[in-house]
Chains A and B, each alone.
Chain A
Amino acid sequence: MSLLSISGLRKSFGDNVVLDGFDMDVAPGECVVLIGASGSGKSTLLRCVNLLETVDDGVIELAGQDITDPRVNPDQVRARMGMVFQAYNLFPHLSVLDNIMLAPVRVHRRRARAEAATAAQEILERVGLADKARVRPDELSGGQQQRVAIARALVNSPELMLLDEVTSALDPELVGEVLDLLVSLKADGMTMVLATHEMAFAKEVADRVCFLHGGQIHEEGPPASLLTAPTRERTRAFLARFVGL
């Protein structure tokens, strides 16, 4: 059974129909990379899945549960997913450690504070920032901030990770840092949906690449075939801009 199953999803902002009958299934442990032109709805899709937007129509199921049902508590659904944003969105008034501990302490109350601190410290070690626990986010480089943001999403042991252009603000070396982290997450069997303009990302971590166009998946396939030999005209035109693939 698929972990995430989206069918007939529609989302518009005023007259602008961004997602129009969108269908997608993600199997447990799978890593799906969304590519597409700016404005094609990659962020909108991730925000819909994270229930940060209300959908116009269609169904999103997480592990078989329809999360678009208004009777579902969105806070409980969100607590089962980790979302990482392009602009990191760390909380500037909290230290790195407190950023990571906020959700474990406040949302997953079963955890005692000391236990949460240990878990947060472990996860910081995993993203290679154990020595930065006490500093404020604005004292970190972009790549470090983004790794903290990923750690903050991971500490809740999410069933699904949603990552929205997590490297578009970073220079190539820092992209490498984050990419390594995602590769290791994937090796651990994490299910991920990732929007990116970084084709290297798609190549390295994707099981499947989906090209979004016209509010739907225009073309999809394993990275090796989709990125190098797209069959549809629109996909080819989009990928032609990324030289050296």
Chain B
Amino acid sequence: MTAGEHTDARRAWVPSALELERRAYRRSRTVRSAAIASISTIILVGVLGFVVTSSSGWPRVKETFFDWDKAVASFPAVLNGLWLNIRVLLVCSVLITALGLTIAVIRTLRGPVFFPLRLFGAAFTDLFRGLPLLLVLLLLGFGVPALGLDGVPQEAVFWGCAALVLSYSAYVAEVFRAGIESVHPSQRAAARSLGLTHTQSLRFVIVPQAIRRVLPPLLNDFVSLQKDSGLIAVLGVVDAIRAAQIETARDFNFTPYVVAGVLFVCLTIPMARFTDWVARKQGFQGGGLL
């Protein structure tokens, strides 16, 4: 059969009555599921809302956490702070990806020459995965500037970013390493048999496949980084959280914190949806690999 006949045969296809009936049934099931989901959600939210608002402390909580006027008043300052979080996030993401991938590749190098590098890679990941992020932030943010070394930056933002990059690179390196090791050894053999060097095999064959595989967990780490970027507030940097804190300090109304929280959630939702989308897309293709 030629290609032309093939497409003609396809164009001529009309779904059978049986198939149409199956489709109609599937559609009706979809509508039914959606209806059940909406109704149960509305009931649950209604019950929760009623329980909360009818509690004795609600009027006070409403006043201190959900004051609309206060929210509107503090919004510009908090949003301004969030702009810093976003910039920190962008710069750190790039640095974390680069450092994480470098360490992952270092840890997969073979041969005795690379022993010191491998040791460094292992020590780095062990150390920074073990240390709480808050501790790294405090040590770097207050410790290093206190040394008063010449030529070393003094800005808190710089050290806040450094702490984020170090901690997150350790995680991201492990994600990359798992990806690199998940690529079947036969791929390496095939690359080497074509005459590619070890480095070329990594660069053109192994790492591209590894990155594709670990993209969903990697993006998940970056969603987590978005909110952890708020921790640099402990160094006195005026980010969204610190801005909210300043606003609160005037009248002990905590609404600005809620505003900051809502903004952070709004920031992470697109990223989280994007992660889901990538994961789903890969799920459909994943079966074809060796």
Contact = CB atoms under 8 A, between A and B. Distances in A.
Contact of B194 (A74, A87, A93, A156): A156
Given A52-B189, A85-B189, A87-B186, A103 B194 contact: yes
A185 interface: no
Contact of A79 (B190, B194, B285): B194
Interface string B184-208: 0011011111111100100011001
B154 interface: no
A160 to B, nearest CB: 12
A92 B213 CA distance: 12
A27 interface: no
Contacts, number: 71
Contacts of A81: 193
Contact of B209 (A74, A78, A92, A103): A92
B163 to A, nearest CB: 34
A152 interface: yes
B18 interface: no
Contacts of A138: 285, 288-289
Q: In the complex, which range does the number of interface residues on chain B fall in?
A: 20 to 34
Contact of B195 (A47, A90, A156): A156
Interface bin, chain A: 20 to 34
B197 A75 contact: yes
A240 interface: no
Interface string A115-139: 0000000000000000000001010
Contacts of B189: 47, 52, 85, 89
Nearest to A107: B195
A89 B204 contact: no
B278 to A, nearest CB: 15
Interface in A21-47: 47
Given A75-B195, A107-B195, A138-B288, A89 B200 contact: no
A157 to B, nearest CB: 12
A87 B285 CA distance: 19
Nearest to B186: A89
Q: Which of B194, B197, B212 has the most CB of A within 10 A?
A: B194
B215 to A, nearest CB: 12
24 contacts: A52-B189, A75-B195, A75-B197, A78-B194, A79-B194, A83-B193, A85-B189, A85-B190, A87-B186, A87-B290, A91-B187, A91-B190, A91-B191, A91-B209, A93-B209, A102-B191, A102-B204, A103-B195, A103-B196, A106-B200, A106-B204, A107-B195, A136-B288, A156-B194
Given A74-B192, A83-B190, A138-B285, 10 more contacts: A47-B189, A78-B194, A82-B193, A85-B193, A87-B290, A92-B290, A102-B196, A103-B194, A107-B194, A153-B194
Interface of A: 47, 50, 52, 74-76, 78-83, 85, 87, 89-93, 102-103, 106-108, 136, 138, 152-153, 156
